[in-house]
A and B are shown apart, each in its own frame.
Chain A
Amino acid sequence: MSAGLLPKPQMRGLLTKRLRFHMVGAFILSVGSGLLYKFGVAEPRKRAYTEFYKNFDPMKDFEAKKAAGVFQSVPSTES
């Protein structure tokens, strides 16, 4: 035999080791992506909507659109 023995490889618990690695990773990635979406997309969107509707006046909005002439059933006043 050639000089120097190789270190004994791991003989047991191979599935356990792999399963633990992947379970932990899967948990972190799924929870992480959920949190990322919540705080990257959902919360800003909710804030944007509340901000928009806080001081929204539908009548003023209507008058602006009417002045621009986008309605078919409302005669427009040229702006």
Chain B
Amino acid sequence: MTLLTCLMDEPHALIPQMLSLMAVSVGALARRGVLGAASIRAAHDHSGHAVTQEDLLMPQYHDSRVYPLPTLPYRKELDAEQKALKEKEKGSWKQLSEAEKVALYRLQFKQTFAEMKRPSNEWKTVLGGAFAFIGFTGLIVWWQHAYVLPEKPHTLTDEWKAMQLKRMLDMRANPIQGLSSKWDYEKNEWKK
């Protein structure tokens, strides 16, 4: 079931066929007891009977936004009361009460679309974790600046940069729209 739930996180329309294909290979593994945990989870999901390894060979019920009407009903084994309700369903639906309609829905489906699409708080964990790691990286970067990186070249000192700028202005670099166009050559200062 763990393999199947991985697929369920990215559902697509071929899931029921894929599930039956997967169930075949999964069943082969299950017979070797590899998917013991999977059987336990399937047992909790199902309506009450013990999940045998043969069950994993059959198509599974699966809630999916892109496959809204699953191949099987959610509850296949019905008690007497539920069976009676199913018989009543064969008649006119106008005689069904609201509670009965909801009960019939719940027999057929595990979760409503609203329940399926409910938001989770996972994004907070993701963002928090990402920022935590980025912060830790910041610490590493600071330590590198302090203990690893060599001295800055002399051409990055303020005096050298001033000499460099003066030379660029003397050469009239980019005189039309760029650097030298912003310099006032008469007053020897930047244009206002």
Q: Which residues of A contact B (CB under 8 A)?
A: 45, 48-49, 52, 61, 64-65, 68-70
- Contact indicator A70/B170 (Cβ below 8 Å): yes
- Contact indicator B176/A49 (Cβ below 8 Å): yes
Interface of B is mostly: loop
20 contacts between A and B (CB under 8 A): A45-B177, A48-B176, A48-B177, A48-B181, A49-B176, A52-B175, A52-B176, A52-B181, A61-B172, A64-B172, A64-B185, A65-B170, A65-B171, A65-B172, A68-B170, A68-B171, A69-B170, A70-B167, A70-B170, A70-B171
Q: In the complex, what residues of A have CB within 8 A of residue B177's CB?
A: 45, 48
Distance (whole angstroms) from the CB of B2 to the closest CB of chain A:
40
B interface residue count range (under 10 / 10 to 19 / 20 to 34 / 35 or more)? under 10
Distance (whole angstroms) from the CB of B105 to the closest CB of chain A:
13
Bound: A70/B185 CA distance, A: 16
Interface of A is mostly: helix
Mask for B170-188, Cβ within 8 A of A = 1, else 0? Answer: 1110011100010001000
Q: In the complex, what residues of B have CB within 8 A of residue A45's CB?
A: 177
Distance (whole angstroms) from the CB of B99 to the closest CB of chain A:
14
Closest to A71 in B: B171
Q: A52-B181, A68-B171 are in contact. List 7 more A-B contacts (CB 8 A).
A: A48-B181, A49-B176, A65-B170, A65-B171, A65-B172, A68-B170, A69-B170
Within 8 A of A (CB), among B157-177: 167, 170-172, 175-177
Bound: A52/B172 CA distance, A: 13
Distance (whole angstroms) from the CB of B48 to the closest CB of chain A:
32
Bound: A45/B181 CA distance, A: 13
Closest to B166 in A: A68
Q: In the complex, what residues of A have CB within 8 A of residue B175's CB?
A: 52
